[in-house]
Structure 1
Amino acid sequence: MPRLTLRWKLLLFAVAIAVLPILVAAQTMIRIGQDELKSSANEQLLGVATELTREINDMFERSWLGPLLLIRNALDDERLGVEEKISLLTLGLSAIPDIAALQITLAEADLPLLVTKDDITQRLTNAGLEPLAVLRVAPAAIQAAAEAGDIVAPEVTHVAETDDWLATIVLPLNNPLAGQGAILSARVDLRRLSEIIAGNPFARTGTITLVDDQGRQVLHADRADLHRYPIVAEALSLLSSTSRSLGVEPYARPDGQVMLGAYAFPRPFRWTVLVERPERDAYLAVAKMTSSLLWWGMVGLAVAVLGAVVLSFLISRPILEIDRVATEVGRGNLSVRVVRGVHLKDEIGDLARRMNEMIVGLAERLKLERFVSGGTMAAIRLSRDGAIELGGTRRRATMLFCDIRGYTAFAEQHEAALVVEVLNFYFQHLAGLVQEYQGDIDKFVGDEILAVFTGEEAEHRAVACALAMQAKMAQLSANRPEWNLSIGIGINSGEVIMGAMGSAARMDYTVLGDAVNLAARLCGVAGRGQTLVSNATFEALGESLGAELTARPLTLELKGKRAPTLAYDVAQRATTALEAGGGTASG
C-alpha cells in the first residue's frame, strides 16, 4: 500500500470536510465549542478555589505560624529570664498584625499569662464583653495540645456581638518555663482573611464561601447552614476522610437554581473553599457561539473546496519542517531551528516559534546545569509545577570548605587572564574529585569551594575526598612550583538548613547553619596542605581512619566561638611530615 504524505492527507481531509453535510459539521463544531467553554468555566472556578486555598495556606504558615514559631523558640531559650520572655510576648504581639492575643499557660498555675491588643480589647469592651474571658484560650484546647505534644488544627470561634472571627493556635513549649511545663497559644483575628475573600475579583460575578466541617458558613455573620447543598455534602464527605482532592461539578440548590461550583481544602483549617457561579451565566457564551457557528458553517462549506489545495500546502510545509527539526533534536542536534512557518500568525506559527524556543531552552538548560549545584537541579526536578518555594528543611550533612593558599599573592603578581585560567585549572581537578566521592559543589566563592556530602557514610566520603584533593594539589603544585599554591581544608558535620534562600525574584539553593559556619572557620585556620576535621566528623568516622592515616588533636580558638574548639589534623601517614603544617594561611 503506497504511503500517503502529509500533504495528500491534508488535501483529502479538506475535500472530505467540504462535502460533509453542513448540519453534521456544524453539530460537531458546536459540541467541541461547548466542551471547551465548559472546560474553561470549570477551570476558572477551580483556579479561583485553588488560588484562595493557597492564599489561606500562605497566610497561616508565613503570617501566623512562622512568627509564632520564632516566639516559641525564643521562649524555649534558657538564657532568657522570665521578664525578658514576658517582654518578648508584648513585642511579638505588636509585631504580628493579625494576632489579637498571646497566652502562656503553666501546668501548675491557676490562671494563664495573657497579653492582648488594644484595638480588639476596645471593641469587645464597647460591646459589653469581658475581653479576657473572650480572648483567653479554653483549657480544653490547651489540654488537647499538651496531649498531642505538637501543633493542633486551629479552632475557629465567632464573637457575634462584634462579628469577630478568632482562630486559636496552640504550640507546646519544648522546655519548662519557670520550672513548669508551658503552652504558648495565640488568638488570631481573621478580619484580614475575610477582607481578602471579599476583595477577590471573582466575588463580583460569583460567590465565594468558606464552609466548616459542620456545613456552616464561616467568616459570615449569619453563619448559614449549607449542608443541604449537594456540592457541600460531597465536600464534607471528603473533608472527613483522608482525601483532600479538588472537585468541580454542576448542581441544583434547594431553591432550584442550577449552579456550577468548585471546592478546595486549605491545609490548616477543617474548611472547604466553595466557589460558585450560576450555570446560566457560566455557559452564556455557548448559546452565542451556537448561532455564530451555524452561520459561519455555511460560509465555510462554500469556500472549503476552493481553499483545500492552498490550505494543504500552507499547513503541510511548516509541519513537515517542524517534523524535520524535531527529528534532528531527537538526535541531539540543538543548533537546528525551524525556519519555514515561523512568521505565520496562526497556531502553526505559534508551534514553530515554540519549537525554536524549546530548543533554545534545552540548550540553555544544558549550559545552566554547569552553573548550579546538583542540589539545585534536584530541587527543581522534585518541585511541583516547576515552582520552588522559599524555605528549607533540616538535614544532616557534612560540609567541606577548600581554600587555595597563596592565591591572593599570586593574583597580585600576575595578569587577570592568567589568574582566572589558573583558578579554573585547579577547580577543574578539585571539582572532579568532589563528584568522584559523590559530593555536591554548593558554590564557588572566589578561590574557595563549598562541597556538601549527604547520605550514608557522608563523613567518610568527605574526608577521603579532602585527602585526595590534598594529594592532587600536591601533585599539581610539584609540576608548577613557581606558582607557590596549596590548599587548606575544613570539614564539619551536623544539622543544617538546606533549601531555597533569597527572594521570589532571585534565590540560591544552599545550606545554612552553625555547622556550615564551623566548617568555614576550620578552613580559615587550616594551614597549607592541612585538613582540619571537627570533632563531630571525627567521631562519626569511628575506627575507619585506618593505619595509613594520622589524626592529631588540636584545640583551636575560632572566630565567633566562645569556647575553644576541638579539631583534628587528618593526613596521610606517608605524607604527614611533608604536608601537615600548623599556622594559619589565607587565600
Structure 2
Amino acid sequence: MQISLRNKLLVFAIAIAVVPLLVAGRSMVRIVQDELKSSANGDLAATAEQIVTEINDRAERTWLAPLLLIRNALDDQRLGVPEKIALLTLGINDLPEFAALQITVEGAPVPVVVTNGLFAKRLSDSGIDPLKVLRLPEQAIRAAVDSGEFHVGDVSHVAATDDWLATIVLPLRSRFAGAPAVLSVRIDLDRTRRFLENHPFAKTGFITVVDREGRRVFDPRRDDLGGVAMAAEALDLLRTGNRTIAAGPYVRPDGQAMLGAYAFPRPFDWVVMVEKRQEDAYLAVDRMIGSLFHWVLAGVAVAVAGSILLAFRISRPIIEIDRVAGEVARGNFQVRVQDVHSRDEIGDLAQRINAMVVGLNERFHLQKFVSGGTMLAIRNSDGGIKLGGERQRVAMLFSDIRGYTAFAERVDPETVVEMLNFYFQHQAEIVQRHHGDVDKYVGDQLLAVFQGDEMVANAVRAALDIQEEIASLSARHPDWKLSVGIGLHAGEVVMGAMGSLDRMDYTVLGDNVNLAARLCSHAKPGNILLSETVQQAIRDCAEFETVRLPPVTLKGKRDPVPVFEVSRRATAGLATRPP
C-alpha cells in the first residue's frame, strides 16, 4: 500500500507533537507508579506491622499477663484448693475475654473448669453444652505441655454461635492437691475479630488472617488460601521459622493484580496479610493519565491543523518534482518542473532537476553513438577515461554487405542510409542477444567484439543467426540484391581509448583485428569464414559443423592462412567433421 507524501507529512507532524507528550507522560507515569508502589508497599508493611503489634500487645498484656498472675497465685503453697478455685472464679469474672479457666490435675478423673457466665449462656442458648466446647481434653493438654514453657493452641470455631476460641496452656510449678497440674484458658477472640473488621485499612483494602495450614481465620468457610502467591510465600517463611515482614505485588488466582504485605504475630502460628488492589493504589496515576490524554488530544488538534498547512506548502512542489522524475524514468526527457518558485532548498532542487533532465537527454542521445564497451569502461573508471589500452583476448566478428556499391549507385542517398540502418539494426540485435558488443560501424561494415568464456561460440552463433536473418530480409526485399559476408577470428588485441585528450575512440586494435577484417573481405556472399583459432575453439561443439577450405593469401601475411567455413550441424548428436 502506497502512502502519499502529504499523508506522510501529516503523520510526521502529528508524531512530532504527540510523541514527546507520550514519552514525557510515560516517564512521569512510570516515576509516579514507582513512587506510589514504593509508598504503597511501605504503607502496607507498616499496616501489617501495626496490626501484628496490636495482636501481640493484646496477647501479652490482656491474656498472658493476667494468666501468669493467676498461675503464680495458684503456685502459692499457702492457698488451699478451695481458695485456688475461688481465685479462678474471681479471675474469670474480671477478664471478659476469658471464656473458661481450667486446671487439669494428673490422675484426676475430670479437670476443674470455671466458665465465663455470659459466654456459657450464649452457648446454652444455642443448644450447646458449654463444657463440651470449653473443656480441653487431657490429650490436648499433654501435647501443649510437651511443646514448651507455655503454648498457644490452634484456633477453633464454634459454628452455632460463630465464635472463635484460642487456647493458652501453662504448667503449674507447684502441685495441686498433691499432684502435677496444668493451667489452661480458653480465650474468646471476638474482640480481636472486631478489631480487624473495624480497622481503618479495611475500608480501602483487605485484612486476612491465615493459619499454619493455609486456611482463613475468622471465616466460617475456612477457605484455603494456599494457592495465593503471597500467602504461599508467607506460609513457607512461617514453617521455616523466618518471621520477616515483606511487601510486594502479586496476582490472585482470579487474575486480580494486588499489592500486599504480611507479618507474623508472636503468640500464634498466623500470617496477617494486608492487601490492596493495584488499581486503587494507582488511582492518582489513572487521574494523571486522564489529564495527559486531554493534553495529547489538544496537541493532536494543533498538530493536524499545522501539518495540513505544512503538507500542502511542502508537498506540492515535491509532488511536481516526483511527477517529472516519473516521466524521465519512462524515457520522456522533454518534461520539466513547472511552477516551483520557492527560494529555498526545494526551489534549488527543482532547478537542478531541470538541469539534470537536460543532461540526461544529451547523454541518452550520445550513448547511441558509442559502444557498450565504451560505456562499461566509463562506468568502471575512477578518474575518467585515459588514453591507452590493455591486452585482452576477444573474439571478433566482421560483417560486410555484398552488393552495397552497386546498390548505392542506383538509388538515392536517403534510401542507402535507410537500408544501412535497417541491416545494422537487425545485426546489432543479434549481436546483443549473443552477449556481444557492436564496436563500430565503418561504411557498410560492422565490427562486433565478444568476451568471456563462451566468446568464440557466441560469436559463431551470432554469425549464423545474422546470415539466416539477412537471407530472410533479402527475400522480403529482392530488389535490393544484397547479402553479407562474415569473418571470425579470436586472439589478443589491445582494447582501450585511442585518439586525443579531446576526442577519443574506445576500440580494439592489433594484428588479430586486421586478420578478422581480411577474412571478412574474402568471405563470399552468405558465407562465414573462420580462422584456425576459431575452428579449434569450436571443434568439440556438437551444434557446429566446419569445413576446411583452401588456404588464402591475406594482405600483410607472408604465408597463406588456413580458413574454414561453418554451418549448423543437421543432427546434433554427430561428432564434428574432421578438418
Shorter chain as denominator, the TM-score bin is 0.3 to 0.5
From the CA coordinates, give the structure whose radius of gyration is larger.
2
What TM-score results when the alignment is normalised by the length of structure 2? 0.46
What TM-score results when the alignment is normalised by the length of structure 1? 0.45
